[in-house]
Chains A and B, each alone.
Chain A
Amino acid sequence: MSVRHALLALLSEGPKYGLQLREEFEARTGEVWPLNVGQVYTTLQRLERDGLVESDGAGDDGPQKGFKITTDGEAELAGWLRTPPDLASPPRDELVMKVMVAVQVPGIDVREVIQSHRRYLVELMQQWTRIKEAEADSDLSLALVVDSELFRLDAVIRWLDAADGRLKRAAADPPQPAPAALPLPRARRRTGTRR
């Protein structure tokens, strides 16, 4: 989450004080991403240093210090909104690794490992759904954040379901080792991973 760009977005509506920025940030993100005051001021100092915001120079970096966005700041915000995040290379996913390792370890029931993760993820989704049921009708920001979390967890569960099915088929009909003459393409093996 880019706190930097979220603050620029809030300032694009008009000049604001530091404390006000923190409160509005939390309200607009459905209070799912809490910020501490220090984070807000550190980020504002950097934005000012980079010429993306201007302060009114009133005293120290206290809650009464006002900020406004500059033309460069507006351009930076517009560019960021349209820049896709880096989703090209697979993330280094701990759950994927656990399942892949479980397949290798003798005496481990991989499907039981998968089920324990599936249960935990469904329980998390139940909690998010409770939040949606209770509040999301009246809070658009919260509804967007909760939907995104539900879709993300749902995708992980679908992967577990697919892995489960694949393991079941592999147990019934063990895959033949690939012929030595047909190695995996080198490019695929070299695919980078994000941390």
Chain B
Amino acid sequence: MTVLELRGVSKTYGQGAAEVHALAGVDLSVDAGSMVAVMGPSGSGKSTLLTIAGSLEDPDSGEVLIDGTPLSGMSRNARARLRRRTVGYVFQDFNLLPGLTVAENVALPLELDGMSARPVHAAALGVLDELGLEERAVRFPDELSGGERQRVAIARAVVGDRRLLLADEPSGALDSVNAEAVMRMIHHACKRGVAAVVVTHDAQLASWADRVVFLRDGHAVDQTSPPAGPESLLTPGRIQ
């Protein structure tokens, strides 16, 4: 099932000589359970694509559909509800609230959505447990390493029934071992049925995705084919 679909999405900033085409007619479709990485250099339109996909910004033309429903036809309230209930965001700088414990940070989106305390707490502990963070539940963010904070941010992004995870350079500030742990976790969330879009300039991160889309000057210029089985790399005699 397609969770996110972008149809001919364009976005321009500035006017006249300062006009920049951040996105130019981009099509993208992400199914439940799959991770798509969007790779491109700085200024290629990656972050714009993510903010438009998450309805934080409107395209100049084209359409964004989440679970088959076009965002353009929705009221402001309906879009705000969709952002709270369906979409989870992960940023490079974690954005955890320092005065709240890990469990409270993870529970926050559900609490803001008006859920009552008991199921909120159960859902937060459930996702922490599933992602191997249960022992961190009562800690505060400043008691965690950078890698752990980002994993908590991912737990918060997928708590409840969130089906779309949007991540902007999610391991940009982490060393390679922690970056791998973060990507494993996003991958794990996808196995639960979440659709994920990860924008990055880092090929090691992108290689965790089922599909990699290459963005250049606002255009989606290319994408990878479905990966071949690992056995093709382990054929006897390939490397001498």
User: Given that A119-B222, A127-B233, A134-B230 are known contacts, is A164 also in contact with B41, CB under 8 Å in the complex?
Assistant: yes
Within 8 A of B (CB), among A111-167: 111, 115-116, 118-119, 121-131, 133-134, 147, 150-151, 153-154, 157-158, 161, 164-165
Q: How large is the interface on A (under 10, 10 to 19, 20 to 34, 35 or more residues)?
A: 20 to 34
- Chain A positions near chain B (C-beta within 8 angstroms): 1, 31-34, 36, 111, 115-116, 118-119, 121-131, 133-134, 147, 150-151, 153-154, 157-158, 161, 164-165
Closest to B208 in A: A129
A133 partner, pick from B184, B202, B238, B239, beta carbons under 8 A: B184
A129-B207, A157-B203 given; A123·B233 CB < 8 A: no
Instruction: With A123-B227, A133-B184 as known contacts, state yes or no: A34 contacts B237, CB within 8 Å.
Output: yes
A164 to B223, CA, bound (A): 17
Is the pair B227, A127 in contact by a Cβ cutoff of 8 Å?
Answer: yes
A118 to B212, CA, bound (A): 11
- B214 in contact (CB, < 8 A): yes
Please give the distance in Å from B97's CB to the nearest CB on chain A.
Answer: 32
Closest to B211 in A: A126
CB distance from B2 to the nearest CB of A (A): 21
- Asked whether A153 lies within 8 Å of B230 as measured between CB atoms, the reply is no
Q: Which of A33, A34, A125, A165 makes the CB contact (< 8 A) with B204?
A: A125
Contact of B41 among A116, A122, A133, A165 (CB under 8 A): A165
Interface flags for B219-233 (1: CB within 8 Å of A; 0: not) read: 001111101111011
In the complex, the answer to whether B41 meets A32 with C-beta atoms within 8 Å is no
Tell me, yes or no, whether B234 is within 8 Å of chain A by CB: yes
Q: How far is the CA of A1 from the CA of B223 in the complex (A)?
A: 34
With both beta carbons as reference points, the residue of chain B lying nearest to A34 in the complex is identified as: B236
C-alpha spacing A34/B238, complex, angstroms: 8
Least CB distance, A157 to chain B, in whole angstroms: 4
A residues within 8 A CB of B224?
119, 122-123, 126
Contact A154 B203 (CB under 8 A): yes
Q: Is B209 an interface residue (CB 8 A)?
A: yes
Contact of A126 among B202, B207, B216, B222 (CB under 8 A): B207
CB neighbours (8 Å) of B201 from chain A are: 161
How near does chain A come to B178, taking the closest CB pair, in angstroms? 14
Q: How near does chain B come to A134, taking the closest CB pair, in angstroms? A: 7
| Known contacts A115-B221, A122-B224: A130-B41 contact under CB 8 Å | no
Contact A31 B41 (CB under 8 A): no
- Tell whether, in the assembled complex, residue A31 and residue B203 are in contact, meaning their CB atoms are under 8 Å apart: no
B15 shortest CB reach to chain A, Å: 21
**Residues in A neighbouring B228, C-beta threshold 8 A:** 123, 127
CB nearest neighbor in A for B207? A125
Nearest CB on B from A118, distance (A): 7
Bound: A116/B238 CA distance, A: 23
Asked if B206 CB lies within 8 Å of chain A CBs, one says yes
- Is residue B110 contacting chain A, with contact meaning CB distance below 8 A? no
On chain B, the residues within 8 Å of A121 by CB distance are 203
Instruction: State the Cβ distance, B127 to closest chain A Cβ, in Å.
Output: 21
- Is A122 touching B207 in the complex (CB atoms < 8 A)? yes
CB distance from B225 to the nearest CB of A (A): 6
Q: State in angstroms the CA–CA spacing of A124 and B224 once bound together.
A: 10
Contacts of B187 in A (CB 8 A): 133
B75 / chain A contacts, CB cutoff of 8 Å: none
Task: Select from chain B the residue with minimum beta-carbon distance to A157.
Answer: B203
